[in-house]
Amino acid sequence: MTGRMPLTVLTGFLGSGKTTIVREFLRQPGFQNTAVIINEFGEIGIDHDLIESSHEELISLSTGCLCCAMQGDLANTVRRLMDAVANGQAPDFDRILLETSGMADPAPILQTAIVDPYLSATLEIANVVVTVDALNGPSVIQAYDEARRQVSLGDRVLITKSDLDAGAGEAAAHAVRAYRPDVALGKSVNGDVAPELLFEPVGGQTAWTSRFSEPYGDPHVHTAAVTTVSLRIDAPLHAVALTLFLQALAENYGPDLLRVKGIAAIRESPESPAVVHGVQHVFHPIAWLDQWPSEDRSSRFVLIGRHLDADWLHLMLRIIEEEVEVATGL
């Protein structure tokens, strides 16, 4: 495994219930050993009875959570968290939850976690969780690019406020499925959410591999705006071919390539699969697992984006692999 700390990004449009989830989250012992990065303490309204200690915008709670307000960029905030633990000013933690603002595009956050040297060495993107308001979600997704971007980049969508109108909850789920038919769905009522819906791996890097134990649905699913393409290759790939394939994806699709995740069998290291994760044209350095997560030793990739063509992607990968074979004689 990579040994890096898992990062869950909680995003969602204005008024969709993110802050309510975080407020309830901080009260629950089941979320202990979690560092929560928020925009402002005032928005959360932390119960003072839960506060055990505070130090320079770091608040330790009796429930075992550590709450931190964003100061500067993400790298500085994470570094401040780590330094506080090292200096004995805050309790240790083993995962981070980052709440974004309502109008935030998650892509720059994910890209920062990938390309920043400190963050890429410290964190692994475990999950992107999106909140969608049952009452307003369908109209918001239709009207706002920001909401569609959030849903496009999510690993799991939580339908909120469905307790107010069960029919609206079903309509919101349908609106999400129409745009992202493959995304995992859950729900949150009054901010209450099961820990596994935030932290159980659906996406990410090493965590993502668990999703490939079974075939990943239809290999080529079209929606009005976003396409999900699944690729499966039985024969091991050359390491160089994998690198060239990722470069070709970035060059040919650029910002239309929303996310890429996959696990690859590499000829040079058959027992240690490579895990890839990219956001638009930015790819995380390849991570290596100590062993395969299942009996399936094939290479599997899932690409989410616009104008993706499954046949062309399969052809491109096959041509790259054949050219590398000719060049190396292997």
Which residue has 């999510």 as its token pair?
154
Q: What pLDDT is stored for residue 26 in this prediction? A: 75
CATH code, 5-199: 3.40.50.300
**CA-to-CA distance for 125 and 202, rounded, in angstroms?**
11
Polymer length in residues for the chain: 330
Complete DSSP assignment for 123-137: EEEEEEEEEEETTTH
Give the pairing of strands 5-12 and 123-133. Answer: parallel
CATH architecture of 207-328: 2-Layer Sandwich (3.30)
Q: What pLDDT is stored for residue 201 in this prediction? A: 76
What is the CA angle 112-114-115, rounded to 5? 70
Tens-digit pLDDT profile for residues 274-296:
988 888 778 878 888 888 888 88
Q: What pLDDT is stored for residue 224 in this prediction? A: 44
Question: Within 10 A of 285 (CB to CB), how many other CB atoms are there?
Answer: 12
Q: Are 120 and 36 in contact (CB under 8 A)?
A: no
Please state the domain extents for the chain: 5-199, 207-328
Please say if the pLDDT value at position 315 is more than 90: yes
Structure tokens at 87: 């200096």
Q: What pLDDT is stored for residue 34 in this prediction? A: 85
Tens-digit pLDDT profile for residues 68-93:
777 668 898 899 889 888 888 777 88
Is the alpha carbon torsion for 18, 212, 215, 231 positive or negative? positive
Tens-digit pLDDT profile for residues 163-214:
888 788 999 999 999 888 888 999 998 888 888 888 887 744 333 334 433 3
Tens-digit pLDDT profile for residues 16-61:
888 888 878 777 777 778 888 876 444 444 333 333 334 445 555 5
Question: Within 10 A of 83 (CB to CB), how many other CB atoms are there?
Answer: 11
Please say if the pLDDT value at position 297 is more than 60: yes
Q: What pLDDT is stored for residue 27 in this prediction? A: 76
CA 159 from chain centre, in angstroms, equals 17
**CA-to-CA distance for 151 and 132, rounded, in angstroms?**
9
Quote the pTM value: 0.70
